[in-house]
Structure 1
Amino acid sequence: MKTSTQKLSQDHVSAVIEMALSDHISFADIKLEYGLSEAEVKALMRENLRAGSYRAWRKRVRKFSDRRENYK
């Protein structure tokens, strides 16, 4: 497992983004598979998504986390 977003291949970056965009995969699952912390996933998303897409994703993640404690 890699611990830095700079060391991830473009395929892995795409996979992490897909996982993060999913409403069914938690930050803990991403950490287990790729070794990225929540902050690293957020940074990766910010670098790779358009600003509006990133804000919409963060809003959705916050909304779900308010409803379910173990969500992202």
Structure 2
Amino acid sequence: MRSSTFSERELDRIIEMAWEDRTPFEAITFQFQLKEQEVIEIMRKEMKPGSFKLWRKRVQGRVTKHKKLRDFENGRFKSYSQKQITGNKISKR
């Protein structure tokens, strides 16, 4: 395993990306050249056993964690209940 070649900041980012439900493993591969199995090994090493088991159960087979299983190709997912932001004066400051 190559976790020793990553800085603490990079390891934190890998774990953060793996923890996020909508970040596919392919994004981690693209950014850090890690295969899904290597990410799982890092998570196993860096997390408490109970936390790892919960994470693994949650992401296993999850559509959003595997790009091949997603039903959309481009863009980001947007919930139908999400409000449209138009005329936002705060962002124009």
The TM-score with structure 1 as length reference comes to 0.83
Task: Read off the aligned partner of 1:15 and give its amino acid letter.
Answer: R
Q: Considering only CA atoms, is the larger Rg found in Structure 1 or Structure 2?
A: 2
CA distance in 2, matches of 1:20, 1:35: 14
List runs of 5+ in structure 2 lacking aligned partners: 71-93
The TM-score with structure 2 as length reference comes to 0.65
List runs of 5+ in structure 1 lacking aligned partners: none
1:45–1:54: 8 Å Cα contact kept in structure 2? yes
CA distance in 2, matches of 1:30, 1:64: 16
Match of 1:18 among 10, 16, 19: 16
How do 1:1-72 and structure 2 match up within 5 A? 4-62=2-60, 64-65=62-63, 69-70=69-70
Task: Read off the aligned partner of 2:48 and give its amino acid letter.
Answer: R
> More helix per residue: 1 or 2?
1
- Aligned identity (percent) is 32
CA distance in 1, matches of 2:34, 2:13: 12
Higher relative contact order (CA 8 A, sep 6+): 1
Runs (4+) off by over 6 Å: none
State the Cα RMSD in Å.
1.8
CA distance in 1, matches of 2:44, 2:26: 19
CA distance in 1, matches of 2:36, 2:27: 10
